[in-house]
Structure 1
Amino acid sequence: MKPYVISIAAVSGGGKTTVTNHFLGKLNNSKALYFDEYVFKDCPEDICDWVSRGANYNEWNLSPLIKDIQEYLKNESLEYILLDYPFAYLNDAISGYIDLTVFIDTPLDIAMARRILRDQSENLVYDLNSDLNNYLVRGRDAYLEMQKNVKPNSDIEINGLLPVDLIVDQLIKELRHRGL
């Protein structure tokens, strides 16, 4: 049997990595891959520009991530592969490897607050003002793109306001319900 591949998506600051890490800790014989740890070549450099051009998810050349998924799939001792990955089934090159997609539906104000706390803890107020202004002028569209296209292309939608332990408990119940 091959490992079951679960993709976990959310907007930036929506809880992907936190949920992935907690979920990984609850599953036996599992590994996780994190989208943000990869350097992808031949991909959009400016997310906001990519969204304004129509957000074609196939513009992303995800070869390094796909290569690692393929390697993990060869490991017969693994039961699950978790992907901290933002696109659900929307990239054709990777969609065939994914068995289940989860979208953590976190309100944009909460996600932005989490992102500021995570990314701006050591930066100057000017940097914070610049980041917030960029969000209002350009970046919000990228967040809305996730809600418009990734969320409806996911198998499971989870309330991002729930504590992480409850989110993971719901995911484990869902796996049991599916006989996995």
Structure 2
Amino acid sequence: MKHQPYIFAVSAVSGGGKTTMTNRLSELMKNSKALYFDDYEFEGEPEDICKWVEDGSDSNQWNLLPLIRDIQSLMNEPELDYIILDYPFAYSHNEMSNYINLSIFVDTPLDIAMARRILRDYTEHNIEEIKNDMMNYINSGRLAYLGMLQTTKPNSDIIIDGTLGLEEIVKIIIKSVEERRTF
């Protein structure tokens, strides 16, 4: 039987720590490769995320072929044990669900995620830009966050408390992966 890497997805709301966790997991897990959803441009992706959420958040509207091609390519690397996905949809995208062995949702409270986003995205911006983003969040963006909690969270195998520290979360993820992975 041909060796294939174990593929797991890390999901959270924006500001939930997905990229930081994925980076740390990639450092700690030997023979791993990380792929980041935000590094891709997908043909036909929704232009208005809030409208997409209002219309039901159908992840199958996204053409994830570039990401799928990269996964398929990595699946043929004999020395690779893990593919770590910084990925927002868990199993809800029909085509992608065929590749994911385990989906993990880090349940970060919205206030913490928002504070992280402001610290991450607005260190070089003026207060008016921050105010505008906060108004957009109140008027429509919060629905997108809540939509993810209603779609991705229940569609995940493991839910981890997002108030835990990075190292504790990473430790839980590694343990969960190792318990499910059979070589």
TM bin, normalised by shorter chain, reads over 0.9
Distance, in Å, in 2 between the alignment partners of 1:118 and 1:178 is 33
1:178 and 2:180 equivalent? yes
Report the alpha carbon displacement of residue 175 of structure 1 after superposing the two structures with TM.
2.3
Counterpart residue number, 1:71: 73
Counterpart residue number, 1:127: 129
* Matched position secondary structure for 1:78: coil
Report the alpha carbon displacement of residue 11 of structure 1 after superposing the two structures with TM.
0.1
Question: RMSD over aligned Cα, in angstroms?
Answer: 0.9
Report the alpha carbon displacement of residue 32 of structure 1 after superposing the two structures with TM.
0.3
Distance, in Å, in 1 between the alignment partners of 2:175 and 2:95 is 29
1:161 and 2:160 equivalent? no
Kindly indicate whether the alpha-carbon contact (under 8 Å) linking 2:7 and 2:102 is maintained by their aligned counterparts in 1: yes
Counterpart residue number, 2:50: 48
Report the alpha carbon displacement of residue 178 of structure 1 after superposing the two structures with TM.
2.3
Q: Aligned letter for 1:77? A: E
Residue in structure 2 matching 1:27, options 4, 8, 29: 29
Counterpart residue number, 2:153: 151
Distance, in Å, in 1 between the alignment partners of 2:42 and 2:178 is 34
Residue in structure 2 matching 1:62, options 61, 64, 67: 64
Point out the more displaced range, 73-82 or 166-175. 166-175
- Residue deviations 1:4-29, cap 9 Å, x none? 00100000000100110111111010
Residue in structure 2 matching 1:90, options 59, 80, 92: 92
Provide the TM-score with structure 1 as the length reference: 0.98
Distance, in Å, in 1 between the alignment partners of 2:15 and 2:98 is 26
Report the alpha carbon displacement of residue 173 of structure 1 after superposing the two structures with TM.
1.6
Distance, in Å, in 2 between the alignment partners of 1:177 and 1:96 is 20
**Identical-pair percentage:** 53
Number of residue equivalences: 180
Residue in structure 2 matching 1:116, options 118, 131, 146: 118
Report the alpha carbon displacement of residue 53 of structure 1 after superposing the two structures with TM.
1.0
Distance, in Å, in 2 between the alignment partners of 1:134 and 1:54 is 19
Runs of 5+ in structure 1 lacking a partner?
none
Distance, in Å, in 1 between the alignment partners of 2:81 and 2:6 is 6
Q: Which runs of 4+ in 1 moved over 3 A?
A: none
Runs of 5+ in structure 2 lacking a partner?
none
Provide the TM-score with structure 2 as the length reference: 0.96
